[in-house]
Amino acid sequence: MGRLSVLIRQSVRLVWASGRGLFVGLLVLQVAAALALAGQVLSVQAVLTAILDLEEGTGATASLWTPVLLLAGLTAVTSIIGAVQGHMQRMLGELVARSMWDQVLDVSTGVGLGNFESPDFFNRLQRVQSNALSRPFQVTQGLISMGGALAASIGVGAALVSISPLLLPLLLIGGLPVLLTSRRESRLEFDFSVAQTPVLRMRQYLTLVQTGRDEAKEIRAFHLADWLHGRFDTAYATYLGALGTHLRRRATLSAIGNLGSAIVLVLTLAALVWLILDGQVTVAGAGAAIVAIRMLASQVQALFAGVQRIFESGLFLEDLEGFLRLAEPAKEDSRGPEAPTGFAVVSADKVHFTYPGSDQPAVRGATVELRAGEVVAIVGENGSGKTTLAKIVAGLYEPDEGAVRWDGTDIRAWSLASVRSRIAVIFQDFVRYALSAEDNIAIGDVTRPLDPDRMRTSARAAGADGAIESLPDGYATPLSRLFAGGRDLSGGQWQRVAIARGYYRDAPFVILDEPSAALDPRAEYDLFASLRHTLEGRTALFISHRFSTVRSADRIYVMEAGSVVEHGTHDELMAAGGQYSELFKLQAAAYLNADQT
């Protein structure tokens, strides 16, 4: 009972916050329906008494009409209430779902990036999306049907007590077996859901692969359709096998519970027969009692079904609450004083970082420094830790050791949200939003109204203007074939849109993570050469694994296996004859050979 009252309190809070008007309205209707049901029992008794009086010749036909009309009226009222309630419940369910979605999306967009490295997080997210979000609606229904069944049980119970007080306790006991088995059933359901989440996610992933636009060409080119279908079928078969076992267990439990209730109902009816034979109940009373017992049995069943729904949803709601708590550290991000609007020096000071679940550090004691207005480059081979270091400098990952400092102050001293607002990052794997070209650029800064001039200047600076202006609707063209009138861009054109997005953001510090990977060598050279002019004094960190691109940087850091192994200007590094000069010559030779062939 303790657990039930906690769950009911939680659920009421949830429903109350989402749609209190509808909730109260539904409860009022439930009480009205309960009164109408009790009225029906009493009307049946009155109808039967009038019929018996007529037969015995002691009553008049006219006295039959009033209870019959009353019974008809009450029956109509009950069914109308039922119909209206259905629609109101649907609306309330949607309101509850919306407020839950709001909270879930707050978590998914607010939690630390580290969560997205963990399959556990995705399993929880999946459970929350496919289960926990529908559960609040179930709880709402459970609460309302409980409230209604309780009111109806009291009403019909009172009517029954007026006929014979013995029958009521017997009927109430009838609900107990179902209640006892329902707790066990709810645990089974939750455990099943937890166990099946990874299989379900794999199935959904296989569906996405087989329906995705990007994957479509590779599936055809590699003849993957049958192979992927096979994997999908196997995943489905595993799930169906487990579902069969699970449903058999649940069916056995509910059969036991319902059998228990049915036995109690038979005992109640037997007691009624005994009361009639003993002369303690009149024939009219017995008729009404049978109606009342039927009504009450179904109400008691509804009451316990409501309790069962709440119990069953309870475990999922706890899961949901645990998930929502993940956002608490994210709220911390916007606490603390605002970061200064600029800096003289940004440094990463002996930073170490290991990805969650990984045993190898991705960055080991790396130190870099950027002075205001400088264009600094990080180079290194694939997997050397460049992107990870950039994410640490951007305040997206917190270093395990060491610190990122602005003019000597650890950025953790300020609100992380404000630090991030001073930085524009163009990611290697930037997002291609299925929105207009204009939105794709202006998304770089959504804190102020769209500035068309700035947007066009940014597009021009990134060299994206030509491609966009030749689209059917220019900047208003959706950059996706998913939507009517949409067009797609080439990889290089998309990359320029992403660069324009970074330029559009009015931030003193710009981080470009391999922004030229999809550009041809001339475009890449032009991009870097024009960077200083485009950024107009802003500080830039440029990441590349093409050494020739960044030779004019103010300073170049060379990374290898997570550490900075060399740094200096191009000339200094070439003169040092270390790894930079070796890799630079290797890449240059590869280009020369390519030119000669």
The contact set with ligand ATP (CB under 6 A) reads 117, 355, 358, 362, 380, 382-388, 428, 545
One DSSP character per residue, 237-283 reads HHHHHHHHHHHHHHHHHHHHHHHHHHHHHHHHHHHHHHHHHTTSS-H
* Closest separation in Å from C-beta 556 to ligand ATP: 14
* Closest separation in Å from C-beta 219 to ligand ATP: 26
Q: Residue with structure tokens 């636009």?
A: 213
The residue among 115 and 418 lying less far from ligand ATP, judged by its C-beta, is 115
Inter-residue contact 88 to 22 (CB < 8 Å):
yes
Inter-residue contact 304 to 182 (CB < 8 Å):
yes
Helix and strand element counts for the chain (H, E): 19, 10
- 265 Cβ contact partners less than 8 Å away, ≥ 6 residues apart: 171, 174, 293, 297
What residue spans of 164-224 are helical by DSSP H? Answer: 167-173, 176-211, 213-221
Q: Residue with structure tokens 């950039």?
A: 390
How far apart, in whole angstroms, are the C-alpha atoms of residue 236 and residue 228?
12
The residue among 5 and 382 lying less far from ligand ATP, judged by its C-beta, is 382
- 130 Cβ contact partners less than 8 Å away, ≥ 6 residues apart: 200
* Closest separation in Å from C-beta 464 to ligand ATP: 23
* Closest separation in Å from C-beta 343 to ligand ATP: 24
- Give the H or E element holding residue 511: strand 509-513
The residue among 384 and 421 lying less far from ligand ATP, judged by its C-beta, is 384
Q: Which two tokens stand for residue 396?
A: 């997206």
Residue closest to 433 by CA, chosen among 424, 449, 444, 423: 444
The residue among 22 and 396 lying less far from ligand ATP, judged by its C-beta, is 396
* Closest separation in Å from C-beta 260 to ligand ATP: 53
The residue among 140 and 387 lying less far from ligand ATP, judged by its C-beta, is 387
What is the Cα gyration radius of the chain?
A: 35
The residue among 359 and 536 lying less far from ligand ATP, judged by its C-beta, is 359
* Closest separation in Å from C-beta 380 to ligand ATP: 5
* Closest separation in Å from C-beta 355 to ligand ATP: 3
* Closest separation in Å from C-beta 547 to ligand ATP: 12
* Closest separation in Å from C-beta 397 to ligand ATP: 10
Residue closest to 138 by CA, chosen among 198, 190, 80: 190
Q: Is 512 helix (H, G, I), strand (E, B) or coil?
A: strand
The residue among 186 and 388 lying less far from ligand ATP, judged by its C-beta, is 388
How far apart, in whole angstroms, are the C-alpha atoms of residue 459 and residue 497?
7
- 497 Cβ contact partners less than 8 Å away, ≥ 6 residues apart: 437, 440, 441, 459, 462, 464, 468, 479, 489
Q: What long-range pairs does 121-129 form, CB within 8 A, spacing at least 24?
A: 121/326, 122/201, 123/197, 123/198, 123/201, 124/319, 124/322, 124/323, 125/323, 126/197, 126/200, 126/201, 126/204, 127/193, 127/194, 127/197, 127/316, 127/319, 128/104, 128/319, 128/320, 128/323, 129/104
The residue among 140 and 384 lying less far from ligand ATP, judged by its C-beta, is 384
The residue among 161 and 583 lying less far from ligand ATP, judged by its C-beta, is 583
Phi, psi of 270 (to 5 degrees): -60, -40
* Closest separation in Å from C-beta 383 to ligand ATP: 4
The residue among 391 and 538 lying less far from ligand ATP, judged by its C-beta, is 391
* Closest separation in Å from C-beta 391 to ligand ATP: 8
How far apart, in whole angstroms, are the C-alpha atoms of residue 227 and residue 359?
33
C-beta atoms surrounding 213 within 10 Å = 10
The residue among 294 and 350 lying less far from ligand ATP, judged by its C-beta, is 350
How far apart, in whole angstroms, are the C-alpha atoms of residue 34 and residue 129?
36
The residue among 123 and 162 lying less far from ligand ATP, judged by its C-beta, is 123
How far apart, in whole angstroms, are the C-alpha atoms of residue 27 and residue 113?
43
What does the angle CA 491 – CA 492 – CA 498 come to, to the nearest 5 degrees? 90
The residue among 211 and 358 lying less far from ligand ATP, judged by its C-beta, is 358
The residue among 49 and 388 lying less far from ligand ATP, judged by its C-beta, is 388
* Closest separation in Å from C-beta 532 to ligand ATP: 23
Beta bridge partners of 509: 423, 539
